[in-house]
């Protein structure tokens, strides 16, 4: 475990106590740990890298395709297989008020199942001021969850609009969820996520157009020369294809076609984090708004971490 960011002696003792309590199953202690990360008081570094097996999965896709319902079905399967799975459900923050609904937990029936709720942990996370679909602290929160004993972490991302590919900076594997009536394969390609996906799941297979959309996605994915990810049809409503998709995801390999794009997102994410965590970030924004500083001056100041 590697943690840091301004931890004083007494705070370090509290951190150790909370870590021990979280490992023992104390969810209040775990919630406080995650809140400390979310508030910028604590940082966790990765100590679980293993290219042969994923620990962090991003489940992403446009609104309305049934990501939460699909994830709920998958959680039931994975818990039955003996896994303990934590979910970080990302909710978009209002660009004006900064508020977020944080209501994904109400869609998860697995957390109300008395026989399974101890094997599932769901935490909603607001995007806050992050530009992409995955807030910068999610990676640290995922590492924390793995450190205290959760087997897998699933990040359910906003996935709204085009080029929402920031999840590539966080996850070991990326699963894109699509649905019927989403347009053709070219439209999906424009979303930016298709080229990063290790697998594509077309949900709502009980609706007209689902099979056609899956075929269009396969055609689009096979236009290149690289190995294309598999496209699966499921229905989260009726459970069709869920056991097969669950088993497939647990043994999912990383796509070789997205390596460069993923490293690009990780570099951009790291650069964004350096800017947002600069102590003068809010001051620079105010100076720009009031015309007291040019953009070049503000950017130069934020690039210098010592100021």
Per-residue confidence at 182, pLDDT binned at 50, 70, 90?
low
**Cβ contact 165:154 at 8 Å:** no
In which domain, by residue range, is 22 found?
1-45
* Rounded CA separation 195/82 (Å): 32
Token reading at 87: 């979910």
Indicate whether 97 pLDDT > 80: no
Which string of DSSP letters, residue by residue, matches 63-104?
A: TTS-HHHHHHHHHHHHHHTT--EEEEEEEPPPTTT------G
Q: Taking the chain, what is the end-to-end CA distance rounded to the nearest angstrom?
A: 29
The number of folded domains in the chain is 3
Three-state DSSP class for 7? coil
pLDDT in tens, 248-306: 999 998 877 667 777 777 788 778 878 887 889 889 999 999 999 999 999 998 887 65
pLDDT of 184 > 80? The answer is no
- Could you count the other beta carbons within 10 Å of the beta carbon of residue 284? 21
Do 211 and 274 fall into the same domain?
A: no
Alpha-carbon torsion (107, 108, 113, 117), positive or negative? negative
Most confident of the ranges 102-111, 125-134, 157-166, 245-254: 245-254
Q: What is the pTM of this model?
A: 0.80
Strand 199-202 versus strand 2-4 pairing type: unpaired
Q: Are residues 181 and 284 in the same domain?
A: no
pLDDT of 160: 52
DSSP letter (8 states) at residue 226: S
Identify the pLDDT of residue 133: 46
Confidence of residue 197 (pLDDT cuts 50, 70, 90): confident
Q: Which two tokens stand for residue 141?
A: 């929160």
Let me know whether 97 and 108 are in one domain: yes
If asked whether residues 68 and 217 sit together in one domain, one would say: yes
Both 255 and 268 in one domain: the answer is no
How far apart are alpha carbons 254 and 275 in whole angstroms?
30
Mark whether 227 and 282 lie in a shared domain.
no
Q: Any idea what the CATH number is for the domain that residue 72 is in? A: 3.40.50.300
Task: Tokens for 37, please give them.
Answer: 């990360």
Shared domain check, 269 and 250: no
197, 273: one domain: no
Burial of 207 (0-12, 13-18, 19+ CB in 10 A): middle
Which two tokens mark 52?
């042969």
Cα–Cα distance measured from residue 164 to residue 265, given in angstroms and rounded to the nearest whole number: 10
Considering the domain architecture, whether residues 255 and 277 belong to the same structural domain is answered as no
The answer to whether the beta carbons of residues 104 and 122 sit under 8 Å apart is yes
* Same domain flag for 29 and 84: no
Only one residue has tokens 């997102």, namely 265
**Mean pLDDT, the chain, whole residue set:** 80
pLDDT at 162: 40
Q: Which tokens belong to 183?
A: 């347009």
Q: Which of 97-106, 163-172, 192-201, 290-299 has the highest average model confidence (pLDDT)?
A: 290-299
- Which residue in 94, 140, 148 sits closest to 121, CA to CA? 148
Question: pLDDT category, 94, cuts 50, 70, 90?
Answer: very low
CA 175 to CA 103: how far, in whole Å?
22
Of the pLDDT bands very low, low, confident and very high (cuts 50, 70, 90), residue 123 is very high
pLDDT in tens, 19-39: 999 999 999 999 999 998 888
Indicate whether 61 pLDDT > 50: yes
pLDDT at 305: 64
Give tens-digit pLDDT for 215-226: 888 888 777 656
CB atoms within 10 A of CB 162: 11
164 and 180 share a domain?
yes
Same domain, yes or no: 92 and 204: yes
- Could you tell me the two tokens for 81? 């297989």
85-91: strand order across its sheet: 120-126, 85-91, 152-156, 56-60, 173-178, 199-202, 230-233
pLDDT over 60 at 161, yes or no: no
Residue 240: is its pLDDT beyond 80? yes
Confidence of residue 44 (pLDDT cuts 50, 70, 90): confident
In 3D, which of 175, 158, 169 has the Cα closest to residue 57?
A: 175
């Amino acid at each position: 475990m590697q943690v840091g960011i301004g931890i004083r002696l007494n705070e370090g003792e509290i951190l150790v106590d909370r870590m021990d309590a979280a490992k023992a199953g104390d969810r209040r202690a775990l919630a406080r740990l995650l809140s400390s990360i979310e508030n910028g008081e604590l940082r966790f570094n990765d100590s679980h890298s293993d290219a042969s097996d994923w620990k962090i999965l991003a489940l992403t896709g446009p609104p309305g395709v049934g990501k939460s319902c699909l994830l709920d079905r998958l959680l039931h399967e994975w818990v039955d297989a003996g896994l303990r799975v934590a979910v970080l459900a990302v909710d978009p923050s209002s660009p004006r008020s900064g508020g977020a609904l944080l209501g994904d937990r109400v869609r998860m029936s697995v957390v109300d199942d008395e026989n399974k709720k101890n094997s599932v942990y769901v935490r909603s996370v607001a995007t806050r001021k992050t530009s992409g679909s995955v807030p910068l602290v999610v990676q640290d929160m995922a590492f924390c969850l793995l450190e205290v004993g959760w087997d897998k972490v699933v990040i359910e991302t906003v996935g709204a609009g085009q080029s929402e590919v920031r999840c590539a900076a966080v996850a070991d594997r990326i699963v894109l969820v699509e649905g019927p009536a989403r347009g053709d394969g070219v439209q999906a390609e424009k979303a930016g996520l298709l080229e990063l996906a290790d697998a594509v799941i077309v949900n709502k297979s009980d609706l007209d157009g689902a099979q056609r959309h899956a075929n269009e996605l396969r055609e689009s994915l096979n236009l290149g020369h690289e190995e294309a990810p598999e496209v699966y049809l499921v229905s989260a409503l009726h459970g069709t294809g869920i056991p097969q998709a669950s088993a497939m995801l647990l043994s999912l390999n990383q796509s070789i076609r997205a390596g460069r794009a993923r490293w690009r997102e990780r570099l951009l994410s790291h650069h964004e984090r350096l800017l947002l965590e600069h102590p003068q970030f809010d001051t620079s924004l105010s100076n720009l708004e009031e015309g007291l500083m040019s953009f070049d001056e503000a950017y130069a100041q934020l690039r210098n971490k010592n100021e």
